[in-house]
Amino acid sequence: MATATNVGKLTFFTYPSCTSCRKAKAWLAENGVNYEERHLFKNPPSVSELLEIAKMTSSGLDELLSTRSQKFKELDMDINDLTVSELLELLSEDPALLKRPILTDGEHLIVGYNQSAMKEFFL
């Protein structure tokens, strides 16, 4: 189990007005976890970063896609018709389609505010 001291550089993809992001940020602060904060809309993950993140998921890009978001509902396409490359490009260009927050140290991944996963990983 990783602790806050032996975790690699942690990247925290966040959006300030996102409730889940604020909860995760507060939890990280309360538990003394250091991280590099990346604003999802000002500095979105690149296609290559998203590919690396997707490799850490248990269910692929579906785990990263915010299917309940208004932005997703406004898409006039069936994402199942897209190639992986096209979907990665779409997510990089429009990070509103990503679930948030995203926490990763390059080896481990937590998508969304998941306090039990955060406890397991950092404490």
Confidence band (pLDDT; 50, 70, 90) for 101?
very high
- Characterize 70-104 residue by residue with b for buried, 16 or more Cβ atoms within 10 angstroms of its Cβ, and e for exposed: eeeeeeeeebeeeeeeebbebbbeebbbbbbbbbb
pLDDT in tens, 48-57: 999 999 999 9
Confidence band (pLDDT; 50, 70, 90) for 8?
confident
Residue 1 has pLDDT above 90, yes or no: no
Locate tokens 């995760």: which residue? Answer: 24
- Full-model pTM: 0.88
Please identify every residue annotated as catalytic. Answer: 18
Range 42-48 average pLDDT: 96
